[in-house]
Amino acid sequence: MRTEADEADWPEYQELIEAAYAEPALRALYPFTSHWTLRFGTSTRPCLKAFPPCLAAPRCEGRYTVSAHFMGEVITEVTTADEAVAVLMRHIPSSLGPVTFGAAPQNG
């Protein structure tokens, strides 16, 4: 994800990814993006268990957004990626992690 962000022509997105990576508690989770919204899960795909909130970087001028859910109610908008990650950290349970494999249910 850091490589993808580094290659994107979007410095605000790269700052958001780096700010999230700098937080040890978030490195213990499964990061993923959907429509350029940064989210985290407690299990991997295919049976991904994601939790709110979500982070979004601005395009050029604008503010970082912390939303209650994907495409959901905005919790806050802040001016830096570090502030967005700090808000996220205040809204997630401290007991999350480590990541588990999101195995698909077995038929049969």
Is the alpha carbon torsion for 22, 92, 77, 56 positive or negative?
Answer: positive
Q: Please report whether residue 87 resides in a domain.
A: yes
* Across 54-63, average pLDDT: 92
16 or 28, greater pLDDT: 16
Q: Indicate the burial class of 26 (C-beta count within 10 angstroms; 0-12, 13-18, 19 or more).
A: buried
* 102: pLDDT strictly greater than 80: no
Q: Please report whether residue 107 resides in a domain.
A: no
Rounded distance between C-alpha atoms, residue 83 and residue 88, angstroms:
9
Q: Please report whether residue 99 resides in a domain.
A: no
* 69: pLDDT strictly greater than 80: yes
Q: Please report whether residue 77 resides in a domain.
A: yes
Q: Do 30 and 41 form a contact (C-beta atoms < 8 A)? A: yes
Model confidence at 46, pLDDT cuts 50, 70, 90, reads confident
Among 12-16, 34-38, 56-60, 97-101, the range with the most confident prediction by mean pLDDT is 12-16
* 20: pLDDT strictly greater than 70: yes
Q: Please report whether residue 15 resides in a domain.
A: yes
Q: Please report whether residue 105 resides in a domain.
A: no
The domain of 54 spans 2-91
Structural domain tally of the chain? 1
Rounded distance between C-alpha atoms, residue 103 and residue 45, angstroms:
7
